Amino acid sequence: MNEPSALRLNLLRAGYALIVVGQGIRLAPQLLDPSYGWELQRSVVVSMLTAMVLLSALGLRYPLKMLPVLFFESRGRPSGCCGSLCQPLLRGQRTSRCSRWS
């Protein structure tokens, strides 16, 4: 089996590092503050995102074995952003957030 080039492995590692740093900065204050109260749905979301960050940190060491994590994360972001931006347009409402896209 052919091994991927060092450039491709480093590009994968950069993607994992972006997830770890970006989500880590956002989630760390919530996880480290014991007085932060969560409702059930929010705690499930934070737990899932924390698991993604930890798996992405593992992807820094094993970039090819953790490739499904990178695919999952890269597919979820654009579709979620597009869905939230296009919902008012589909309902016929125009907001300042989506007026530049139509």
pLDDT tens digits for range 29-74: 888 877 777 788 888 888 888 999 999 999 999 999 998 888 888 7
HSE-up of residue 38 (Cα within 13 Å, Cβ side):
13
pLDDT score at 101: 47
* Mean pLDDT, rounded, for 6-10: 93
pLDDT tens digits for range 73-93: 877 666 556 666 666 666 766
Q: Where exactly are the structural domains of the chain? A: 6-77
Structure tokens belonging to residue 88: 């008012």
pLDDT score at 9: 93
d(CA 65, CA 71): 12
What are the backbone dihedrals phi and psi of residue 34, each rounded to the nearest 5 degrees, phi first?
Answer: -70, -20
pLDDT score at 102: 43
d(CA 73, CA 52): 8
Nearest Cα to Cα of residue 59 among 44, 78, 74, 81:
74
